[in-house]
């Protein structure tokens, strides 16, 4: 249990909104040294529950949906969808309770009652936030976990689907695949990612060069706003509908469900997986890839996963970074070979490194560590991620001009590090459709002029502060090394690769205005100002708040 110091407390009072009754401030003042322990008993679970019951028409179920620390379901629920062990230590502040709504009315009640009880809400869909912002806060808070709201309804005739936020990408893909072999959806590769957070921040995957990001393909949504009111696209208005498609989760309301446009895919696609690990050859190929991948026809997505760290150690302990070339092609293997033969013969792909299958089968294979072997489609429904229990730190960059070969060599040397367990640099080619969608179409602003995106994905199992520091130092060092080679003024970043190093609101509640502008323009470019305007209009008391939420204009 975290001890609360006087300074923390004074920060806390400053953030208490005008909505918080004075009596609550009094409770906090009078509570013992441990805020979290004291408040979990003094929250008056009964009172809060009464409030929920009062605001919820189907009273029969709500008692089963509220999990306080005395319920054994609490820790299972708290820990299970937690994707990052850095934020599930005994010292991590825990919510006063977790609600798992099964009906929109429960969400409305949770918003109304949290407000009247001076509690903050954290919204969790798939729980993949890399900084744990969907389940950790330093203020009295509850978690609204959408795990029970995960239905997917596919309309093949209209080529649309309604998907609730608590569904995973895998569940969405699986349901689409069950209905049609020739429909797909352009979202992320990892099937355990939640729809709610993913769509809120953009959501890229192997179809992005053909169809853009997930948020580009959202055509309607259901949302509960800061007053607990329910909206669809029409009633929320175009400004708010714009903001929720890429402006980052947790700023504007609880998005309950999304209507998406499904996209056509051929009955058979081709995926390949080819490792290149000899230093000289791999560096040459990565260099060349920078000039080729973003100009290929948009039916071809050719990504590189560049792995290093101790897990890449070969016999004898020598660490060999590996560049895994991983294409998805919307066509057959012969066409792919012909294209690559013309545009990128150095890659030397063989047919054995590739396989034709349906799009849904390719999604299942990709989910299994980017292999091409067939996987049961049911694997897409598994909500436990491959690296469950590991710690993570991510960063991202966008590259507008090819790096020099010397720069690539510098990265290679760093990937040989003995100090870190496992790292992947995911090089994601842009171009194609991404270059034709205007920067302001939705808040996701990374469009024309971007050659590729880099995700720095660092993971480790070793516990303890020393291991964490060592890994954080490594990723900060390579990020600093990369400065000259990536986008500048601002150095842009992807909001779904959440990184509090690039600026954040004060975690105890004060908005740090300068920092909000810094992370805001990095994530959203020129769209940040419009996001601030929308935020100010729809949530003037800043009810939906977290370390990187969109600030109010009066605060800027
Ligand atoms: C293993 C792994 C693989 C990944 N692969 C990809 C990838 O291929 N492509 C890609 O683009 N990204 C990828 N990501 C990043 C991923 O898109 C983001 O972490 C995303 O925000 C996760 O969504 P979530 O619902 O699982 O997370 P959560 O932690 O539940 O939510 C993330 C944020 O959104 C808010 N939020 C959640 N639900 C809602 C809602 N219903 N309404 C409003 N706000 C909400 C949360 O409060 C939090 O701030 C990956 C992440 C991981 C861990
Ligand atoms: C949690 O415990 C309380 C008190 O025993 C009980 O009424 C409630 O139903 C439990 N909640 C769940 C989700 O099991
Ligand atoms: C919520 O409950 C109402 C009334 O019982 C019902 O009509 C509605 O379909 C439910 N909605 C969801 C999303 O479950
Ligand atoms: C690639 O092109 C060369 C020369 O144009 C040709 O000889 C070769 O068969 C082609 N290979 C494949 C796999 O298409």
Q: How far is the CA of 333 from the centre of ligand 4 (A)?
A: 14
- The reported pLDDT for the residue numbered 26 is 25
* pLDDT level of residue 82 (50, 70, 90 thresholds): low
Classify each residue of 67-82 as buried b or exposed e, where b means 16 or more C-beta atoms within 10 Å of its C-beta. Answer: bbbeeeebeebbeebb
- Long-range contacts (CB closer than 8 Å, 24 or more residues apart) made by 200-204: 200/244, 200/246, 200/247, 200/248, 200/249, 200/250, 200/255, 201/246, 201/248, 201/249, 201/444, 201/494, 201/495, 201/496, 202/246, 202/442, 202/444, 202/494, 202/495, 202/496, 203/496, 204/428, 204/453, 204/494
Q: What is the pLDDT of residue 58?
A: 72
Active site residue 135: no
User: Measured between alpha carbons, how far is 249 from 199 in angstroms, rounded to an integer?
Assistant: 8
- CATH number for the region 6-145 comes to 3.30.43.10
- Distances from the Cα of 397 to the Cαs of 212, 361, 400, 522, in angstroms? 18, 30, 10, 10
Per-residue model confidence as pLDDT tens digits over 232-283: 999 999 999 999 999 999 999 999 999 999 999 999 999 999 999 988 899 9
Q: Can you name the CATH fold of 269-358+368-374+384-485?
A: Vanillyl-alcohol Oxidase; Chain A, domain 3 (3.40.462)
Tell me the whole-structure pTM to 2 decimals.
0.92
Q: What pLDDT is recorded for position 12?
A: 27
Q: How confident is the model at residue 5 (pLDDT cuts 50, 70, 90)?
A: very low
**Every domain of the chain and the residues it spans:** 6-145, 269-358+368-374+384-485
Provide the percentage of residues in the chain whose pLDDT is more than 90: 78
Q: Do domains 6-145 and 269-358+368-374+384-485 have the same CATH topology?
A: no
* CA 550 – ligand 3 centroid, Å: 31
Residue 31 has pLDDT above 60, yes or no: no
**CA 341 to ligand 4 centroid distance, Å:** 6
Residue 1 Cβ inside 6 Å of ligand 3? The answer reads: no
Question: How confident is the model at residue 166, as a pLDDT?
Answer: 98
> Which among 326, 395, 331 has a CA at the least distance from the CA of 367?
326
Q: Ligand 3 in contact with 104 (CB < 6 A)?
A: yes
What are the distances in angstroms from CA 532 to CA 198, 229, 249, 251, 546? 20, 21, 14, 10, 14
- In this prediction, residue 484 has a pLDDT band, given cuts at 50, 70 and 90, of very high
CA-345 nearest atom, ligand 4: 1
């Amino acid at each position: 249990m975290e001890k609360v110091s006087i300074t923390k407390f004074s920060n806390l009072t400053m953030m208490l909104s005008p909505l918080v009754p004075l009596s609550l401030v009094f409770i906090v003042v009078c509570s013992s040294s441990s805020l979290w322990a004291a408040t979990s008993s003094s929250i008056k679970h009964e009172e809060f529950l009464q409030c929920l019951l009062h605001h919820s028409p189907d009273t029969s179920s709500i008692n089963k949906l509220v999990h306080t620390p005395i319920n054994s379901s609490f820790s299972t629920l708290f820990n299970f969808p937690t994707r990052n062990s850095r934020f599930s230590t005994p010292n991590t502040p825990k919510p006063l309770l977790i609600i798992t709504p099964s009906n929109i009315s429960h969400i409305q009640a949770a918003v109304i009652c949290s407000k009247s009880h001076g509690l903050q809400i954290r919204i969790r869909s798939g729980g993949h936030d890399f900084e744990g912002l969907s389940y950790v806060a330093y203020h009295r808070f509850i978690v609204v976990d959408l795990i029970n709201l995960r239905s997917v309804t596919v309309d093949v005739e209209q080529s649309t689907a309604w998907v609730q936020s608590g569904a995973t990408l895998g569940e969405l893909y699986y349901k689409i695949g069950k209905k049609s072999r020739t429909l797909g959806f352009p979202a992320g590769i990892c099937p355990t990612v939640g729809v709610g957070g993913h769509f809120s921040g953009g959501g890229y995957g192997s179809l992005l060069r053909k169809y853009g990001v997930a948020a580009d393909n959202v055509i309607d949504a259901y949302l509960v706003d800061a007053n607990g009111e329910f909206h669809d696209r029409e009633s929320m208005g175009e400004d708010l509908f714009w903001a929720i498609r890429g402006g980052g989760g947790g700023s504007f309301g609880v998005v309950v469900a999304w209507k998406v446009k499904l996209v056509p895919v051929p009955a058979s696609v081709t995926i390949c997986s080819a490792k290149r690990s000899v230093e000289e050859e791999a560096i040459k190929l990565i260099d060349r890839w920078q000039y080729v991948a973003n100009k290929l026809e948009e039916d071809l997505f050719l990504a590189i996963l560049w792995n290093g760290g101790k897990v890449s150690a070969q016999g004898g302990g020598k660490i060999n970074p590996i560049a895994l070339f991983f294409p998805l092609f919307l066509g057959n293997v012969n066409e792919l070979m012909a294209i690559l033969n013309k545009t990128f013969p150095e890659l030397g792909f063989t047919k054995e490194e590739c396989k034709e299958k349906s799009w849904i089968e390719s999604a299942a294979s990709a989910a299994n560590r980017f292999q091409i072997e067939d996987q049961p489609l049911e694997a897409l429904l598994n909500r436990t991620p491959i690296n469950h229990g590991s710690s993570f730190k991510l960063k991202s960059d966008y590259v507008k001009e090819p790096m020099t070969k010397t720069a690539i060599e510098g990265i290679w040397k760093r990937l040989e590090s003995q100090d870190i367990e496992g790292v992947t640099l995911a090089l994601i080619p842009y171009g194609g459709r991404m270059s034709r969608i205007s920067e302001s179409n939705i808040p996701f602003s990374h469009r024309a002029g971007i050659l590729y995106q880099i995700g720095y994905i660092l993971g480790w199992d070793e516990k303890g502060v020393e291991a964490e520091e060592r890994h954080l130092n490594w990723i900060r060092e390579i990020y600093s090394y990369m400065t000259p080679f990536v986008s500048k003024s601002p150095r842009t970043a992807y909001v779904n690769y959440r990184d509090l190093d690039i600026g954040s609101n004060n975690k105890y509640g004060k908005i740090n205005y300068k920092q909000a502008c810094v992370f805001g323009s990095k994530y959203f470019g020129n769209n940040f100002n419009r996001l601030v305007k929308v935020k100010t209009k729809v949530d003037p008391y800043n009810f939906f708040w977290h370390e990187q939420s969109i600030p109010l204009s009066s605060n800027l």
